[in-house]
Structures are given as C-alpha cells and as structure tokens.
Amino acid sequence: MRPTAAITALLSTALAAGALTGCGSGSGSSPDTVRISFKQSTDNSIRVMDDYLADIKKQFEKRYPGKKVQLVPIKAPDSEYYTKLQQMLRSPKTAPDLVYEDTFLINSDITSGYLKPLDADLAKWPDWNQFIDTAKAAAKAEDGKTYGVPDGTDTRGLWFDKGIFKRAGLPADWQPKNWDDVLAAARAVKKKVPGVTPINLYTGKPAGEAATMQTFEMLLYGTNDGTTDPLYDKASKKWIAGSQGFKDALRFVETVYKEKLGPDVSDALDPNIQTIVAGDLLPKGKLGIALDGSWLPQAWLKGSGHEWPKWSSELGLAYMPTQHGQAPGKVSMSGGWTWAIPAKAGNPDLAFDFVRTMQTKANAEKWYIANSGISVRKDVASDPSYASAQPGIKFFTDLVASTHYRPAYPAYPKVSTAIQEAMEGVTTGDLSVDKAASGYDDALKDATDNQVVKK
C-alpha cells in the first residue's frame, strides 16, 4: 500500500529535521575547516563519490597546511536528498561550505537566495576556460550570474541484455527505429524468455527526477522534430500544456505497465528501484531492456559490491529513437551536477579552493572515468586516455550531439513532480491517459503561477 500525501509530507519533514540534527554547529564553527555536503549512494557497495572525495580531501589538506576538510554525506534517495539539502541551506548554523547540486534544482535554490554567485572567483581561475559553454549555462541563473561549477554531464540510451535478446530471437546489434520497435522487442522478451522483466522505465514520485528525465522526457522530447522544446515555450516564456506529445509519452508508459512488460508496479514504485536495476536486475540477467543513463557502469566496477567485469560484452547499447523515427532519429537528455557554495557558508573562500583542487585536469579526468560520466572539460575530452578508459564512453559522448537539456527554471522542480504524479497515475491504472494529462495541466498552472500556454 502506497503512503498518502499527508504521511509522505510528515516523513519528509522528519527526514529534513534529522538532517539538521546531524549537522553540528554550522559551517562557520571553525575558520580552518571546510565542510562538504554531498549525496551518498543508498547502496552501501557504491562508494565512487566517497572514495573520490576522500582522495581530494588528502590532496587539499596537504596543499593547504593547517586546513581541514569535513565530509558531510547525505545518504538518501534523490527526492529526500533535495529536501534535506534545502533545509540545511536555510541557516548559517547548518549550511555547509560546499554542496553538490543537481542542475535541475540549482535555479530554484538560486531564486530562494540559498547560493552564492561565483563570478568573481571564476574570473580569476584559468581552468574555467576549459569548460564547455553548455555546461556553464547549466549553472547560470536568469540574472546572468554563475552559481556552480559542473563536474560532468550525462546522456541516456537503451541498455539491453544480449543473452536475453538471443533467446528472444532479437539481434545482438539491435537498434530500434521508433517506439513501436522498442515495444515489439519487449513483447518478444516477455513471450520467449519467461521469468525476466522485459523493460524497465522509471516512473512515479518514488523515483523522483529519474522518472521525469530518464523516462518521460526521453519520450516527450522524441515526439517532435527536436527543434523546439515540448515542455517550455521559450518565445512566450511559458510552460506548455495540452500537448499531444505529452499524452503520447504517457500512453507509452501506460502500455508498458498495462501489458506487464515492466517490473511489478510495487517494485517500479520502490524508492530504491535504481539500485535494484543496477545492482540486481541487470548484472543477474533478469532485465531485457533498461532505459537508463551513461553512469551505470560505476555500479559494476571492481570493489563496488556488484562487480561485473563482463558487462561490456554481455550488454548492448542502442540510442532511444524518436516516436515515429522522424528526424533527427534519436533522442537523449543531459543533466549533471554542480558544486555550489551556499550563501550562508562560513568559509566560502576555502570552499572555492576545494573546488579548484577537485578540478585540476587530472582530478577531473579521474572523476569522469570513475563516475562513468561525460566530460565537460575540453582538455579532458580531447585526451585519448579518457576516450578509451571505459567501454561505452564514446557511444554516450556521441549522443551529446542529439541531446536536450531540461528547462531548469525555478518552477521546474514543481513541474517535475507534476509529471511524476501523472506517470504514477497511468502506471497504477488509477488514471486514464486523458485524466492524467488533464491533472498535469491543472497542476502546471499552480506550479508556474499560471504561466502556461496551450499547444
């Protein structure tokens, strides 16, 4: 039984309060200590970020004698991480000196006054010239100022199990041309390979932004010709309601779960579904197709707890096609994370020194490879050792040419939640596509102060 909205709200409040309780006396408690807050994986075996930051901590303390680094991990699913982080940012007693911000949330936090502009520091930092313009734009607010340093980007595509595909009579070099081809492959897996999940699509509020971005927007942005944004109208600066593309994307999700091509609904709405997919379903040969991101291999590296040295030979990669195969033929979404300094940080100068330590070319390349990320630095991207470091890097890097970025304006987090609610309605069967789309349109008006245009 899924929790009610009231219970969910109470749980979020309690979790946020717990975050505040564990934050000590605040970032300004010692002028010689920089406090770094980041999202820790809910899967104890995945320590990519923990290990990387521990190494940077050693480098920093050696480079700046007498200075200390305190790592403040927040172990929570995405949606709970955002709630806890925003609670921490509200007070100088709890604000860290440096925080890890998803690009989808950064503009909302900027508007709330939680973050400090970094332009003065960036102007004096030569390495900033190595960052690509699209990455810089992801951390820039409507006021023209930059509030974060990106540490990489990502793209998304279709991962598929070659062994399952062989048993289902599907090719090892599978590349669907349209949505119907994707569904046909999932149906073939269901029919010929019993006991496995044909396809995974993240859905509903428990999956948070993974549902919005890795599923819904991968579908929605493939419903047109790719030249216009189907979610936000830049000309009128309004959010789009009533689009046929929105309904078509919902119908694809509905089809997957109505035909039982996806995980059981209770599993699909488990907040830990991303860990289940990467740590269990894929490495154990229980999933035919996964619509997912470029970072998945970090779960299978040596020492991860889900070691899977043969993943690159056992899994295939295909780009997500547009709805009818119309130009440009493929679609991807890109996001990424940034390091930002809270407005109420006690030691902002030390925090930026930590960023500079993280973002040497060598450290940046080390992070991209460990995190299975896509470089946003020109010097790293052109380095042959990066391009050949891991299978799949070239495939996902090439998708940057076909990718889209979310309209991460201040209202976006609320818009994203409204999308998740519509998805959840059709996933459970509680709502028809038309009713879910209509409910989204109503929620969109509330989320954007009625800044809506009908399409």
Angle (nearest 5°) at CA 438 between 324 and 418? 85
Predicted confidence (pLDDT) per residue in 203-229, tens digit: 999 999 999 999 999 999 999 988 899
CATH code reported for the domain at 156-334+409-454: 3.40.190.10
Q: Residue 30's pLDDT band (boundaries 50, 70, 90)?
A: confident
Domain 5-150+336-404 matches domain 156-334+409-454 at the CATH topology level: yes
Predicted confidence (pLDDT) per residue in 69-111, tens digit: 999 999 987 778 888 999 999 999 999 999 999 888 888 899 8
Domain ranges across the chain: 5-150+336-404, 156-334+409-454
Predicted confidence (pLDDT) per residue in 249-293, tens digit: 999 999 999 999 999 999 999 999 999 999 999 999 999 999 999
Query: In the chain, what's the furthest Cα-to-Cα distance?
Result: 64
Per-residue pLDDT, 105: 83
Per-residue pLDDT, 140: 87
Q: Is the pLDDT of residue 450 over 80?
A: yes
Predicted confidence (pLDDT) per residue in 417-434, tens digit: 999 999 999 999 999 999
pTM over the 0.95 mark: no
Q: Is the pLDDT of residue 367 over 70?
A: yes
Cα–Cα distance for residue pair 324/359, rounded to 1 Å:
42
Per-residue pLDDT, 301: 82
Per-residue pLDDT, 262: 98
Domain at 5-150+336-404, CATH from 1.10.260.40, 3.40.190.10, 3.40.50.10420, 3.40.50.620? 3.40.190.10
Per-residue pLDDT, 17: 38
Cα–Cα distance for residue pair 259/201, rounded to 1 Å:
13
